[in-house]
Amino acid sequence: MPQPWEGHVLPLNHTRNNNIIIANLPKKSTMKKPGNRYFSWREGLFFTLLLAGFAAFGLFCHFAQAEDLIVIDLIPAIRKGDFVVKSSDGSLAFRVAKGTSTASVSFKLLSLIPQSAIASSTYVLPEKTEAASDIYFLGISTSSDWNFLPQIIMSYPGDNDLRNLYYWDESNGQFTRLETVKDLKKYTATADVTFPGKLIFVLLKEPESVGRASWYVHPKYRRELMAASTQFSRGAKVLVTNLANGKQVVVTIKDWGPDPAVHPDRVIDLGKEAFKKIASTKLGVIDVKVEAYQEPASAIAINK
């Protein structure tokens, strides 16, 4: 049964082109009346109650500034292509692949708390992390037909910082890392939405990654202090610390790996020469901490 909000974008206008919705992001929320069409009293009542609800949330839960993105729409059962909703600045996308569902499903996507207001909100970020985006809300109507594969995709600057997607886990009242797949060429972080209902999520900047490290010999970089990573882009310099003895080595990322699907506990693979700087190769695998490397100010001055 069609819902009264289906096909509307509040408070933004949107255009649909090949199943892609582009949501304009004005500084102040506005809602224009469609030309030559008047809302029925039921629609008017619904929109009034909806906006009143958002206002109440803002008053009591620090959501008042969440006005940049509000999209309420329907994911059609039959789609010629992928169904995609994008923010106009390209920083956020919601995608449902073609042919992955057999029923229409309603959804809501909105900016819940602006990045600048997160510190004063009721949400507490994990220790040592900082927000790299707004906190967003995604609500998908519960349906017995949960065989489609929605994804959230967030873009980030092409720098040397470590970023991952997190969701708000209501069972323990804290943000928990989502399984995130990164495209290190396009600088995007993607996570699958594996359950219906609501998802509150944010992109967080992390200071370090802790896990296991192995070693290998790259045929092109045999003698170099290099490594393979799925978290940092090629050319980035990272500092690797052996947690057993405190020894450190700075390496340049020149390869992709280890595959998280095969080695979920490994955060980096070091070239043999780099591994020898902090441990014996006889160990094979060691526990490490990996963090972005910042050149000392004196070294930067000398290079200039």
Q: In this structure, are residues 290 and 239 in contact, taking their beta carbons and an 8 Å threshold?
A: yes
pLDDT score recorded for residue 145: 59
Query: Do 290 and 146 fall into the same domain?
Result: no
| Listed residues 206, 221, 252: the one ending a domain | 206
pLDDT score recorded for residue 157: 86
pLDDT score recorded for residue 80: 82
| Listed residues 162, 187, 206: the one ending a domain | 206
DSSP3 helix / strand / coil % (the chain, rounded to 5)? 15, 40, 50
For residue 236, the enclosing domain spans 209-303
Query: Do 231 and 155 fall into the same domain?
Result: no
Tell me, yes or no, whether 6 lies in a domain.
Answer: no
pTM beyond 0.75: no
- In which residue are the tokens 């997160």 written? 118
pLDDT score recorded for residue 64: 30
Q: How many domains does the chain have?
A: 2
Q: Is there a cis peptide before residue 11, judged by omega within 30 degrees of 0?
A: yes
Length of the chain: 304
Q: In this structure, are residues 292 and 162 in contact, taking their beta carbons and an 8 Å threshold?
A: yes
Q: In this structure, are residues 105 and 143 in contact, taking their beta carbons and an 8 Å threshold?
A: yes
Query: Do 214 and 69 fall into the same domain?
Result: no
pLDDT score recorded for residue 250: 96
Query: Do 264 and 154 fall into the same domain?
Result: no
pLDDT score recorded for residue 51: 57
Cα distance between residue 159 and residue 125, in whole Å? 22
Tell me, yes or no, whether 8 lies in a domain.
Answer: no
Average pLDDT per 10 consecutive residues for the chain, totaling 304 residues: 39 44 42 45 59 47 45 81 86 86 82 93 93 93 70 88 92 91 88 86 93 95 94 89 97 91 91 97 96 70 46
Check which CATH number belongs to the domain holding 37 and give it.
Answer: 2.60.220.30
| Listed residues 182, 206, 230: the one ending a domain | 206
Query: Do 60 and 191 fall into the same domain?
Result: yes
Query: Do 237 and 141 fall into the same domain?
Result: no
pLDDT score recorded for residue 269: 96
